Amino acid sequence: MAAVFGCPQLPPSVLTAAMFGCPKITPPRMNLIDFIVFLVFTGGIVLYGCSFFDKKASSKDFTTAGKSIPGWVVGMSIFSTYVSSISYLGNPGKSYAGDWNPFVFGLSIPIASYFAAKYFVPFYRTGGSVSAYSFLEDRFGAWARFYASACYLLTQIARMGSILFLLAMPMNILMGWDLRTVIVVTSIAIIVYSMLGGMKAVIWTEAIQGFILIGGALVCLGVLLFSMPEGPMQTFRIGFSTLDEFGRSKFSLGSFELFDLRHSTFWVCLIYGIFINLQNYGIDQNYVQRYHTAKTEREAKHAALFGGWLFIPVSAVFFLIGTALFAYYQVMPDPQVDAFNAANKPDYVFPYFMVNVLPTGLTGLLIASVFAAGMSTVATSVTSCSTIILTDYWTRLRRKVHRPGHTHDDGVGDREHLIVLKVSSVVIGTLGIIVALALVNVDSILDAWWKLSSIFSGGMLGLFLLGYMAKRVKNIHALLGVICGFAVIAWISAWKWLGLPDPGLHEYLAIVLGTMTIFLVGFFLALVFHKKS
């Protein structure tokens, strides 16, 4: 994509921007003290995660932490899963370049967390499997479980790739390190402690990382607001007075046009958020697995509510950081930031501010908090995906592994399961690295992630709701519903590639209409054939 001011898009390393005639971008060097702070926090997290390694741990300890985690820790873990590098850098980048329209996504979380506490947590806690998709096999057969779990694996790999890129980007700007090298090295560290400590290591490290990232974000926002020449209120005056072509300010939540389904309006983002978050809480292995780790059902319910509600104010902080960055560089222009703007790289502005404006020591803390956000989410994806590979694929293909008289969790069988879990962690982490390397030239990682999640999620929420709410629906009805739903998703998401007519809908609505199609087609077929019989 051509740059706004005639310069081509920046290549993977901003160091080479000058070669193309753009304003020269010379990445600053991180202060030694900041670098030490960064290494202490990041290295400490990795070592802390590795400390949970236990030679006597079983596969159940690896996947559910022995149901021994306090509710507040599980809640912080759910929150940290939401707040990835996509939130930490992508959200400020969106509000810096545009407005607060993506913030609407978070406003839908209370709806999803309510349903989680009331319905999903009791449903899964009383179930016999740690897999979120065993229920689908019970209702519709093996194909439904394989379909949903495959969609989940694809979604998580895409998410990991997006997060790993955003996690590596600050070090590219601050140290001049190659993006690809940072992605690979960081991924290896995450895979190691996830593989050694299992779910217990992931949840406890996420809880600590949650506190680090909240503290880092608040400190950065405070510095931004109080660095304005006329005080904090100047940020809000500039934000409200800066209008786009439609007359909306930097704090706008988007157009409230009810029937505009082509653009990212308030209603499109809200509906998209409701469906995505219901899917997260209702059928996402990341969340379902956490329900099993809490000590009691009551604590699991509180964890679901706490983790979801905490995300809203913290998300607001991230968007306010982006608006404050815009205001800051309006009153104190910087040629380096102008170069980022010209190259359509708004995600680079926040990390650039960290190293140029923040006091010594705080820069290292902020970069550590970005890493904390990314590492926690990637570790979660690695562990949950390896669990799915074991429960939904390996054990189903190896039903005769155990000798007669041996239980599922003892002897050779359980040792084999642990090996599968750890090998799967390495494989999934490697695939995430490959996706991250492929995303190096993408303009907006947040946009890329939202589009990929709509495609790969496949409307599997519709299949779950069909099995949970529509008792008369049979196997064939659900299968036909999934086929129709997938066709709708493909049409909305890839109509250009497939040579189909323009649906006139925003890509975010793919999961919404895919979910509705699966549910309505399956329910209608069940109703019709029930009457005929």
Distance between CA atoms of residues 435 and 160, nearest Å:
8
Q: What is the third-level CATH fold of 59-129+158-397?
A: Sodium/glucose cotransporter (1.20.1730)
Residue-level pLDDT at 229 = 92
Distance between CA atoms of residues 351 and 370, nearest Å:
9
Question: Using one digit for the tens of pLDDT, what is the confidence trace for 98-129?
Answer: 999 999 998 999 888 999 899 999 999 887 77
Better pLDDT: 460 or 392: 392
Cα 92 to its chain centre, rounded Å, is: 15
Residue-level pLDDT at 264 = 85
Residue-level pLDDT at 23 = 39
The band of 437, judged by pLDDT with boundaries at 50, 70 and 90, is: confident
Residue-level pLDDT at 55 = 67
Whole-model pTM over 0.85: no
Residue 400, pLDDT > 50, answer no
Residue 299, pLDDT > 80, answer yes
440 to 231, 428, 435, 507: CA distances (angstroms)? 37, 19, 9, 22
Provide the residue ranges of all domains of the chain, joining segments of one domain with +.
Answer: 59-129+158-397
- Summary mean pLDDT of the chain: 80
Residue 132, pLDDT > 90, answer no
Distance between CA atoms of residues 433 and 518, nearest Å:
32
151 to 56, 103, 158, 385, 401: CA distances (angstroms)? 33, 26, 11, 11, 27
Q: Give the mean model confidence (pLDDT) for residues 428-451.
A: 72
The band of 21, judged by pLDDT with boundaries at 50, 70 and 90, is: very low
Q: Give the mean model confidence (pLDDT) for residues 303-322.
A: 92
Beta partners for 8? Answer: 2
Q: Give the mean model confidence (pLDDT) for residues 281-310.
A: 90
Question: Using one digit for the tens of pLDDT, what is the confidence trace for 465-520?
Answer: 888 887 788 889 999 998 998 888 888 877 777 777 888 888 778 888 888 999 99
Highest mean pLDDT among 9-23, 54-68, 302-316, 494-508: 302-316
Percent of the chain at pLDDT exceeding 70: 85
